[in-house]
Structure 1
């Protein structure tokens, strides 16, 4: 089976798009997964390790073809407040629980979770059920930005 062997971030755009797949949040964080594009192209996602694929990223197939990834609509919880300060406070509590969140200028989207929904109501927020594409923030430790400092010399790292 044809394999997708790399993922190019949105914005890199080097070439034409040959097909498109629409995936939910869970299926956009995989290493291996059989897929079929909307135009019928069948291929196997076969990355060296699990990778968070974002809305608009492009999968690079071993034969040179390219498949754009779109975020599927999912049942989500929309959180709103009456002030920006209250929304920031709710965002802090959600972040403290390490939940994936999609931050928008006037609202926050999270995956459905009745316990969290009750918590944000207690914080004074309004909750509504919506259907939307979910493309949450990567978080502070996503990607290659986390540096591990390993060596054997002893010069007082504390």
Structure 2
């Protein structure tokens, strides 16, 4: 059993003992039990911790270092002109939907109602299985 209690920012120069592939939702849990192929891992992080792709987790005594990676998961990928993407982000934000925002696309968890809304607004929407990095809330938390 390994208890991971400390989060460090990404650093590719630090060697790691293993990686943990976690979905976006799993990366929002501060208390969590995971079973890897070789280990039982307990996350015991401060409340409100949201893990990002590449973050490092350490045991309290620093005997184990683990890299978090964003696990590919089903998502909707939304593409459109910049103005239409802004409109989409506005409407999704009003619904408090976790969204990954880039200048070229938006990503969100699959939802048929939201897909229909976005298509009716003129967006191109397709399903994919990709890493998902939704924005963290403006006040440092995740819905």
Deviations 1:106-136 (A, max 9, x none): 1111000111111111111111011100011
Q: Indicate the RMSD between aligned Cα atoms, in angstroms.
A: 1.9
Could you tell which deviates more after superposition, 111-120 or 43-52? 43-52
Q: Which runs of 5+ in 1 are unaligned?
A: 144-158
CA positional deviation for 1:14: 7.6
Match of 1:66 in 2: 65
SS in 1 for 2:61: coil
Match of 2:118 in 1: 120
- How many equivalent pairs are there? 140
Greater C-alpha radius of gyration: 1
Matches within 5 A, 1:37-56: 37=36, 40-56=38-54
Q: Normalising by the residue count of structure 2, what TM-score does the alignment of the two structures yield?
A: 0.87
Instruction: Specify which structure has the bigger relative contact order, considering alpha-carbon pairs within 8 angstroms and separated by 6 or more residues.
Output: 2
Deviations 1:9-35 (A, max 9, x none): 225x68422211101111111122223
SS in 1 for 2:114: helix
Match of 2:32 in 1: 33
Q: Normalising by the residue count of structure 1, what TM-score does the alignment of the two structures yield?
A: 0.80
Give 1 or 2: higher strand fraction: 1
Match of 1:146 in 2: none
Q: Which runs of 5+ in 2 are unaligned?
A: none
